C-alpha cells in the first residue's frame, strides 16, 4: 500500500478526567475512501476531533501528508488540507448559501463556486437564501460544499447522512461516489454499513474507544456477523 496521507498510531485522548480513546490506530492513503464505524458513544467523533486538534491527544502520534499534527491548532491543521463536514452540519445560519461557500474558500484548486454548484445544483438555485432557510438535506449539501471550497487533500464526513430522508441520503451517497471518481480522499462516519461497503476501500471499527477491527470492503462483507456485533445496540 502507498504512503499514508493520514495516520493515527495508538492515540489516547480524554475529556477532562474521562478517557475516551484507548489506543486508536487508523491509516488512509491518497485517493482512498475509508469508513470509521461503531455504535454511538464509541469514540468516532472524538477521533475526528482529535485529528482536527479540537481534542488534544495525550499519547500516540497523528500525521498528515508526512507532517505531525500533534499539538497544532485547529486552523493550522485545516490549512494543511483537511476539510471537515462536522456532525450537525454547523453551517452559518445567518449567512446566505453563497456567503457560506465563499467564507472559507481557498483559491487555486479544483473547487470553485461554479464547481460546487455543478455538484449541487439546488445550492445554486438557493444561493441567496440564508442557511437557516434550507432543509436538513440542503444544509448537509452546503456543509459538504463549504468543506470542498477549502480544496482539501482529505475530506472528513462526520455522520454523513444522519437524520436525512431516504431520498436525500441517496443524493449524498451519489455525491460521495462522484468525489471518489475524482480521487478525493475521504474519511466517513456513518451507520449505513451497506452503502459504505460499496463506496469505501477499507473500514475501521471502534468499540469503547478502542480499535477492534479493520479490513477491506470484501472482508467487511465476509465478517458482517462479527462486525454487526460491534455495531448493534
Q: Is residue 126 included in any domain, yes or no? A: no
Q: Is residue 223 included in any domain, yes or no? A: yes
Q: Is residue 91 included in any domain, yes or no? A: no
> Which range of residues forms the domain containing residue 9?
1-81+190-233
Q: Residue 3 and residue 29: Cα distance in Å, rounded?
A: 6
Q: Is residue 195 included in any domain, yes or no? A: yes
Q: Per the structure, how many domains does the chain have? A: 1
Q: Is residue 46 included in any domain, yes or no? A: yes
Task: List strands edge to edge, sheet with 185-189.
Answer: 82-85, 154-158, 185-189, 33-37, 202-207, 210-216
What is the bridge-based pairing of β-strands 185-189 and 33-37? parallel
DSSP 131: G
Q: Is residue 230 included in any domain, yes or no? A: yes
Q: Is residue 178 included in any domain, yes or no? A: no
**Tens digits of pLDDT across the chain (233 residues):** 468 999 999 999 999 999 999 999 999 999 999 999 999 999 999 999 999 999 999 999 999 999 999 989 999 999 999 999 999 888 999 999 999 999 989 988 899 999 999 999 999 999 999 999 999 999 999 999 999 999 999 999 999 999 899 999 999 999 999 999 999 999 999 999 999 999 999 999 999 999 999 999 999 988 888 788 888 75
Q: Are 233 and 39 in contact (CB under 8 A)?
A: yes
Joined together, the cell numbers standing for residue 30 give 491518497
CATH assignment at residue 208:
3.40.50.300
Amino acid at each position: 500500500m502507498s504512503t499514508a496521507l493520514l495516520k493515527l498510531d495508538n492515540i489516547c485522548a480524554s475529556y477532562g478526567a474521562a478517557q475516551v480513546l484507548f489506543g486508536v490506530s487508523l491509516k488512509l492513503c491518497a485517493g482512498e475512501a475509508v469508513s470509521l464505524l461503531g455504535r454511538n458513544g464509541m469514540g468516532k467523533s472524538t477521533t475526528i476531533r482529535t485529528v482536527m486538534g479540537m481534542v488534544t491527544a495525550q499519547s500516540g502520534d497523528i500525521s498528515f501528508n508526512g507532517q505531525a499534527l500533534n499539538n497544532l491548532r485547529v486552523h493550522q491543521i485545516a490549512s494543511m488540507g483537511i476539510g471537515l463536514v462536522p456532525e450537525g452540519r454547523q453551517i452559518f445560519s445567518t449567512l446566505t448559501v453563497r456567503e457560506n461557500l465563499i467564507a472559507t474558500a481557498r483559491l487555486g484548486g479544483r473547487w470553485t463556486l461554479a464547481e460546487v454548484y455543478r455538484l449541487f445544483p439546488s445550492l445554486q438555485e438557493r444561493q441567496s437564501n440564508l442557511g437557516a432557510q434550507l432543509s436538513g438535506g440542503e444544509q448537509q449539501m452546503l456543509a459538504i460544499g463549504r468543506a470542498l471550497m477549502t480544496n482539501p487533500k482529505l475530506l472528513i464526513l462526520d455522520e454523513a447522512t444522519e437524520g436525512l430522508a431516504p431520498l436525500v441520503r441517496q443524493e449524498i451517497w451519489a455525491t460521495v461516489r462522484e468525489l471518489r471518481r475524482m480521487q478525493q480522499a475521504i474519511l466517513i462516519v456513518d451507520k449505513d454499513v451497506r452503502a459504505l461497503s460499496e463506496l469505501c476501500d477499507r473500514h475501521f471499527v471502534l468499540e469503547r474507544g478502542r480499535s477492534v477491527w479493520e479490513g477491506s470492503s470484501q472482508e467487511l462483507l465476509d465478517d458482517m456477523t462479527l462486525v454487526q456485533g460491534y455495531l448493534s445496540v
